[in-house]
Amino acid sequence: MKLPDGPKSSSWFQLLQWIADPLGYMETNFQRYGDFFTVHWGNLYPEAVFVSHPQAIQTIFTADPKLFDSGRGNGLAKILVGETSLVLLDGFSHQRQRRLLTPPFHGERMQAYGDLICTLTKQVSCEWKIDQPFAVRESMQEISLRVILQAVFGLHEGPRYQELIELLAAMMDMTASPLRASMLFFKFLQKDLGAWSPWGRFRRRQQRIDQLLYAEIQDRRRQNDPERTDILSLMISARDEQGEGMTDQELHDELITLLLAGHETTATSLCWGLYWIHYHPEVREKLLQELNSLNSNPDPSEIFRLPYLTAVCQETLRIYPPLFLTWPRILKAPLQVGEYHFDTNTTLLPCIYLTHQREDLYPEPKQFKPERFLERQFTPYEFFAFGGGNRRCLGAALAMFEMKLVLATILSNYQLVLSDNQPIKPQRRGFFLAPSAGFKMVMTGKRVHSEHPAEPVASSI
């Protein structure tokens, strides 16, 4: 059958638009074509359909997973995460791997990381100097990296830990702008012309990271310590119905996936959270009042349950979700979605950003309004920052837990202001939607803990 209408420009030009200005590309096409539109991105996706109507999203998320070739749809990520990563698997292999990976992210396990997240946040933020601007992304990236390395990898201070911190931060920064991100989308740019070339540098860092991770996996297998509670140790001990565990390659690829999906998205969400909280003083004051309602040393689970903090995090993930789209789904059999009957091999792209910007769901969608999440319960097809169906992010609960604890720890201990009150624009950073480079804040004082609302101990600038 005929696919939905969409932009008529060449596939090459459309892909360039998608890389350089993803929000403009999506919004222009949504305004022109509506809830469904077909895009052409050359060899990447010759024909793919953006979907942003909640009922259509529900049809896709609740359909039998056997209808989709989702792993094949994620081929673009293979160069980053490896071929045995969960995101590239389908069918039995996907089910097996997901079952093995689920227990470490169970709620009770997650709670064990609460104190660690708060401690690591304080370690990084204590380096801020009063009245001196600091780069927000660098700080949030360091916090999320430390959480990943200690809670997920089980690595603590030492040469391997320090080298990984430096290598991973450098590798992430290689796709920090739309121009640099082009390497991920165009095969002809993925040429190793030596250590001086962009792709050559990227590959050498990637190879060194691989060496360090495989060494850690082998060390951990030899130690075989049942008392360890980090996620890597739990992954090593996990067994399927046949009593088989994950291979070294599977462990490596899942660690890299968790690193990319968990570190970069969480750092980005924390940057946006700090920006919106301080761009709207009334939001900051409401949050401080809620945090001050707790005792001076609250349990992380108490912080996690705070309703206004939860709403602030949800609204942060709504207005600029780190990922524009869920994982692509390539149909293996025809499927009726809304008024359209899609044929085999059609690629469906449930669009997080456009759904989160719908005025019928979120009046004044460009405005930051946490209250909307207190006034209404949204369905998993109206708000789905972590994807949906059998491809929903396994680490969603840990990501929300970390986001709440980091923001609460910073707000409870530091008085911050934006270094510039000009609105921050979003831009592509690799596969993600991040605040534009150069976003800075200033610490104007530390907060005094008492039974009463905190006061800054240093004068504001």
Which ranges of 152-197 does DSSP label H, i.e. alpha helix? Answer: 159-173, 178-185
Confidence (pLDDT) at 455: 41
Topology (CATH level 3) of domain 11-446: Cytochrome p450 (1.10.630)
**Of 80, 409, 379, 401, nearest to 258 (Cα)?**
80
**pLDDT per residue as tens digits for the range 89-147:** 888 888 888 888 887 777 677 777 899 999 999 999 999 999 999 999 999 999 999 99
Report CA-CA distances (Å) from 236 to 104, 207, 244, 248, 458. Answer: 11, 22, 10, 9, 48
pLDDT over 50 (residue 460): no
The identity of residue 456, as a single letter, is P
Report CA-CA distances (Å) from 132 to 136, 142, 343, 418, 437. Answer: 12, 18, 58, 11, 18
Q: Which of 31-35, 70-74, 280-284 has the lowest mean pLDDT?
A: 70-74
Distance from C-alpha of 205 to C-alpha of 170, rounded to nearest angstrom: 8
Confidence (pLDDT) at 451: 45
Confidence (pLDDT) at 175: 61
Contact 376, 83 (CB under 8 A): no
Model pTM above 0.85: yes
Report CA-CA distances (Å) from 320 to 265, 402, 430. Answer: 11, 18, 15
Output the average pLDDT for the chain. 87
Q: Identify the band that residue 329 occupies on the pLDDT scale cut at 50, 70 and 90.
A: very high
CB-based burial, 200-213: b 16+ in 10 Å, e otherwise: ebbbebbeebeebb
Q: Identify the band that residue 458 occupies on the pLDDT scale cut at 50, 70 and 90.
A: very low
Determine what percent of the chain is predicted with pLDDT higher than 90.
50
What is the mean pLDDT of the segment spanning 192-208?
Answer: 81
Q: Is 74 left (phi over 0), alpha (psi -120 to 50) or beta?
A: alpha
What is the mean pLDDT of the segment spanning 177-181?
Answer: 59
Q: What are phi and psi of 347, to 5 degrees?
A: -95, 125
Q: Where are the domains of the chain?
A: 11-446
Q: Which two tokens stand for residue 75?
A: 């081929």
pLDDT over 90 (residue 453): no
**Of 280, 318, 277, 324, nearest to 427 (Cα)?**
324
